[in-house]
Structure 1
């Protein structure tokens, strides 16, 4: 199916019998998906740098735990690198989260364009689900699953697109969040060199996991965006030409 360069499609007329009198027009998520591609790419790069920084700190703490001597200057530099890496990660996290939620809300609204009653979770949940304590561990995945199913073009797809990209992304997202919280808590509570070494090991795992999660989040965004663009194009081609007044 050829790609579409339009940013929005009006819904088919109500006379077709497929849609009610008003449905919000389709709005292309491509620009937001492109921005997320850049942000997730930067996230992967910063996470890998953080892993390298963690590995350096681990070597220093391993030396200290073994009774070796480490220069204060080396510890200061390592600590500075950790701070810089942390600031970059938080900055990217906030920027990516904002753009991702905007994209997520848009693809949820587009699901109504394809089939108004296909989603149990209303479009507001595409934003609100992320801020529900405990519930944010599964509610966004429920919204994503409904949007995914509504975005399938059953007439052109030879088989149902696998939920694997979405499921792997969500599993990694939750795992990264849980491991990251445990690693941060262990790092803050570490007193001895041995405890610091164990905390840094957890941080390495957390940063590496975050990089992998970013890759799969990107795959999910690109796949769902492509599904919606293809289905919108097919829908537009099926609309019969309207007589001029």
Structure 2
């Protein structure tokens, strides 16, 4: 690990992003499959000659679209945060060679036309520097499916809008109601490819997020002691930044006072001596 650079937790945000992507995909698939149910409703309206049931189909479609948009925005925010954190973590990994700055982990999703290429490059670099094994195939599968979904869905929506303008505003005849039945029938076929691409992109991205998050958290945990280090503390062998084998510690030798000259005690006076003589 490169000393002095911060690391960021990615397991929690990665799990949240994965759940948000999964929920968004579920709502999208329900919205894409709605034309099947819409065709049933307009067929009933045609059989009963009741135009009000056509309005019911529109309301059901709106009820599915609103939660999808909310989930989509939530997932987008979480994915951007996760991408930025994962990219910043690679700055501290030994041997990592990121080819794009961390700012592109955010700007790459937002800049028009750039977002057709840059997010894939950023995630590919993150996967390479985090997993240390080939993940190019999974990244390519995710990004190709994402492009098919995002571009294909826009094309399909434009075709739906053009077709909807041609529908009679106040259906009353069998031909009018049949036009609505045909419209929903055609929508089923048009939305099949974007729906499948969305499912593939979501699964591939969730797998990438979980693998990268687990690998990064493992590397961060192995490089970070599980206790606080205080001055003078003896660390066990294998601690990051410490030698593999402890160095012998020699206790200081006791200090010996030098320069003291032994003095013999005075001899006691003899018995024949005189005091004060």
Structure index of larger Rg: 2
Q: Does the alignment reach a TM-score above 0.5?
A: yes
1:43 aligns with 2:31: no
Task: For residue 184 of structure 1, report the CA deviation from its aligned partner.
Answer: 1.0
Match of 2:213 in 1: 225
Distance 1:70 1:111 in 2: 64
Verify the 8 A CA contact 2:152 2:194 in the aligned structure 1.
yes
Verify the 8 A CA contact 1:129 1:139 in the aligned structure 2.
yes
Task: For residue 211 of structure 1, report the CA deviation from its aligned partner.
Answer: 3.2
Distance 1:28 1:238 in 2: 21
Task: For residue 56 of structure 1, report the CA deviation from its aligned partner.
Answer: 1.3
Distance 2:33 2:2 in 1: 53
Q: For this pair of structures, how many residues does the alignment match? A: 215
Cα shift readout 1:57-88 (whole Å, capped 9, x = no counterpart): 24556x59xx8776323322211111111111
Which has the bigger relative contact order, CA under 8 A and spacing at least 6? 1
Task: For residue 40 of structure 1, report the CA deviation from its aligned partner.
Answer: 2.2
Task: For residue 200 of structure 1, report the CA deviation from its aligned partner.
Answer: 4.5
Match of 2:38 in 1: 57
Distance 1:71 1:215 in 2: 42
Match of 2:140 in 1: 167
Structure 1 length as normaliser, TM-score? 0.76
Match of 2:228 in 1: none
Verify the 8 A CA contact 2:90 2:96 in the aligned structure 1.
no
Change over 3 Å in CA distance of 1:161–1:197 after alignment to 2: same
Match of 1:112 in 2: 91
Distance 1:85 1:125 in 2: 33
Distance 2:40 2:203 in 1: 28
Distance 2:195 2:110 in 1: 23
1:214 to 187, 202, 214: 202
Verify the 8 A CA contact 1:168 1:216 in the aligned structure 2.
yes
Structure 1 vs Structure 2 CA RMSD: 2.7
Structure 2 length as normaliser, TM-score? 0.68
Match of 1:98 in 2: 77
Change over 3 Å in CA distance of 1:107–1:209 after alignment to 2: same
Match of 2:250 in 1: none
Task: For residue 185 of structure 1, report the CA deviation from its aligned partner.
Answer: 0.5
Verify the 8 A CA contact 1:53 1:78 in the aligned structure 2.
no
Change over 3 Å in CA distance of 1:12–1:213 after alignment to 2: closer
Distance 2:200 2:52 in 1: 33
1:134 aligns with 2:113: yes
Distance 2:109 2:121 in 1: 11
Name structure 1 gaps, 5 residues minimum. Answer: 1-10, 14-21, 154-159
